[in-house]
Amino acid sequence: MKLRTRFAPSPTGKMHVGNLRSALYEYLIAKHAGGDFIIRIEDTDQERFVEGATEIIYATLEKAGLKYDEGPERDGGFGPYVQSERKVLGIYHQYAEQLVEKGEAYYCFCDKERLASLKTEVVAGMEVSAYDKNCLNFSPEEAKNKVAGGQPYVIRQNNPQTGTTTFHDELYGDITVENTELDDMILLKSDGFPTYNFANVVDDHLMEITHVVRGNEYLSSSPKYNRLYEAFGWPVPVYVHLPLITDSDHKKLSKRSGHSSFEDLLNQGFIPEAIVNFIALLGWSPESNQEIFTLTELVNQFDYKRISKAPSVFDIGKLRWMNGEYIKMMEFEKFYQMALPYIRQVINKPLNLMKIAEMVKTRIELWSDIPALIDFFEELPEYDTAMYTHKKMKTDSESALLILQEILPILEVVEDYSNKTLYEAVVDFVAHKEYKNGYVMWPLRTAVSGKQMTPAGATEIMEILGKDESLRRIRTGIELLSK
Ligand code: GLU
């Protein structure tokens, strides 16, 4: 049988990093085994539906490079792939009725007031009220009559009050729960829509999903899903429940972090390939200590048995580093096009922008690092002459003044302000005076940049600035140091 996984997002807004990780792992598990990756839109919760969210889902998958084999726009014979469309066809209703016939589900007519009066208990930190099976007291005929008479109803699962239910997860192993812990969850809501709890089982079966991969918040409901599979007599899929993703404070990655969604990360200038690579390692680790992966490499190496159960920490510093690695690997032409808007934020003068881009390519982690690295080309910043002092280079303001005064006339007569010629001129001077390289380069670079750290050396900077501006900056340095 062909391995089939599905990504089943609810269109409720931005694409959370956790959802993207589910999609990625589902894709990798399917593709690693030569199987199919399917998209199903779970829009049964009409109140949570957000306009435009479905488009975000498609755009994200496309940017992340996760091509799907079947989905709303690509029918593979298991459609429709949108739950609201499946509801219209009566699919969920029909299966819910089947369970009622089998005694595995029942109609419930309780109104809000009655439900609110039921005693609550705290499950997994949330207050829930376990339904007391009151409506099971109606005979099937009585229930049918009420439905025929137009009384609003829901259909609930009928869970046993004795015994245990066991299910298997590939990462967590066998998990057994007391049936008394299983509440009679709603399968079909009064608006005729199925709940997620019911629809996921029906659809995973009808779509022949073999591996259900999702966040571990669904672990506690899985025994109830298993009871549904058993009630229908359907094979239970392989379950892979993925660990929680936390922020550096070890709390669930939330919107407050500012980097919890794919869109947030793109807006901050992260490259889609780097994000995907980073997310692949949020829970999974390869056999080797390789960290940079193409999608194809991930497909080849992805073994879901190597996913950890421990929460994975979203380390934004690591993502920045990884993004820098992707920028280094990028073809120059593409890099240049992407870097240009950031260069133009601070450079208006007719300077050689391509050379400036070359300088920063290996020095940035994010596009937004660019402006602060290069703004000194546009204008010499105000700087403190203490910057001329460098212990290792054995320079101080006195030695710097001397050097700048000595080298100025030499640089005044150089015609060709190319890095090569300038470098030779400086090195000749260094050799002639028997100085150390740094003893000259440090003050020169400080004078022409006004910065402690620059993306290039003194002569490369002077090549970009040109003769007039370079000499002007050296004279300014002499002036500042003479005060
Ligand atoms: N619609 C569910 C969600 O977005 C899907 C969970 C699952 O993959 O089964 O969380």
Residue 104: CB within 6 Å of ligand 1?
no
Q: Is residue 255 among the annotated active site residues? A: yes
* pLDDT exceeds cutoff 80 at 129: no
* pLDDT exceeds cutoff 90 at 30: yes
Ligand 1 centroid to 354 CA: how many Å? 46
* pLDDT exceeds cutoff 90 at 442: yes
Q: What is the pLDDT of residue 105?
A: 97
What's the pTM? 0.91
Gyration radius of the chain over CA positions: 33
For ligand 1, mutation pick of 4, 10, 14, 203 (most atoms within 8 Å of CB):
10
What is the tens place of the pLDDT at every residue in 283-322?
999 999 999 999 999 999 999 999 999 999 999 999 999 9
Residue 9: CB within 6 Å of ligand 1?
yes
Residue 159: CB within 6 Å of ligand 1?
no
Mean pLDDT is lowest, of 49-53, 76-80, 182-186, 239-243, for: 49-53
Predicted confidence band at 126 (pLDDT cuts at 50, 70, 90)?
low
Q: What is the pLDDT of residue 358?
A: 97
* pLDDT exceeds cutoff 90 at 47: no
- Annotate the chain with three-state secondary structure: CCCEEEECCCCCCCCEHHHHHHHHHHHHHHHHCCCEEEECECCCCCCCCCCCHHHHHHHHHHHHCCCCCEECCECCCCCCCEHHHHHHCCHHHHHHHHHHHHCCEEEECCCHHHHHHCCEEEECCEEEECCCCHHHHCCHHHHHHHHHCCCCCEEEECCCCCCEEEEEECCCEEEEEEHHHCCCCEEECCCCCECHHHHHHHHHHHCCCCEEEEEHHHHHHHHHHHHHHHHHCCCCCEEEEECCEECCCCCECCHHHCCCEHHHHHHCCCCHHHHHHHHHCCCECCCCCCCCCCHHHHHHHCCHHHECCCCEECCHHHHHHHHHHHHHHCCHHHHHHHHHHHHHCCCCCCCCHHHHHHHHCCCCCCHHHHHHHHHHHCCCCCCCHHHHCECCCCECHHHHHHHHHHHHHHHHHCCCCCHHHHHHHHHHHHHHHCCCHHHHHHHHHHHHHCCCCCCCCHHHHHHHHCHHHHHHHHHHHHHHHHC
Residue 214: CB within 6 Å of ligand 1?
yes
What is the tens place of the pLDDT at every residue in 5-20?
999 999 999 999 999 9
- Both tokens of 420, joined, read 């090569």
Predicted confidence band at 125 (pLDDT cuts at 50, 70, 90)?
low
User: What's the whole-number average pLDDT of the chain?
Assistant: 95
Q: What is the pLDDT of residue 123?
A: 59
Residue 242: CB within 6 Å of ligand 1?
no
Ligand 1 centroid to 8 CA: how many Å? 5
Q: What is the pLDDT of residue 310?
A: 95
Residue whose CA lies nearest to ligand 1 atom number 4: 9
For ligand 1, mutation pick of 196, 205, 220, 240 (most atoms within 8 Å of CB):
196
Residue whose CA lies nearest to ligand 1 atom number 2: 9
What is the tens place of the pLDDT at every residue in 380-438?
999 999 999 999 999 999 999 999 999 999 999 999 999 999 999 999 999 999 999 99
* pLDDT exceeds cutoff 90 at 49: no
Residue 26: CB within 6 Å of ligand 1?
no
Ligand 1 centroid to 253 CA: how many Å? 17
Q: What is the pLDDT of residue 116?
A: 85
Q: What is the mean pLDDT of residues 51-74?
A: 96
In this prediction, what percent of the chain has a pLDDT beyond 90? 92
**Active-site residue, from 255, 394, 420, 433:** 255
Please answer whether residues 156 and 186 qualify as being in contact, where contact means their C-beta atoms are separated by less than 8 angstroms. Answer: yes
Residue 407: CB within 6 Å of ligand 1?
no
Residue 200: CB within 6 Å of ligand 1?
yes
* pLDDT exceeds cutoff 80 at 128: no
Give the separation between CA 132 and CA 138, rounded to whole angstroms: 13
Q: What is the pLDDT of residue 120?
A: 73
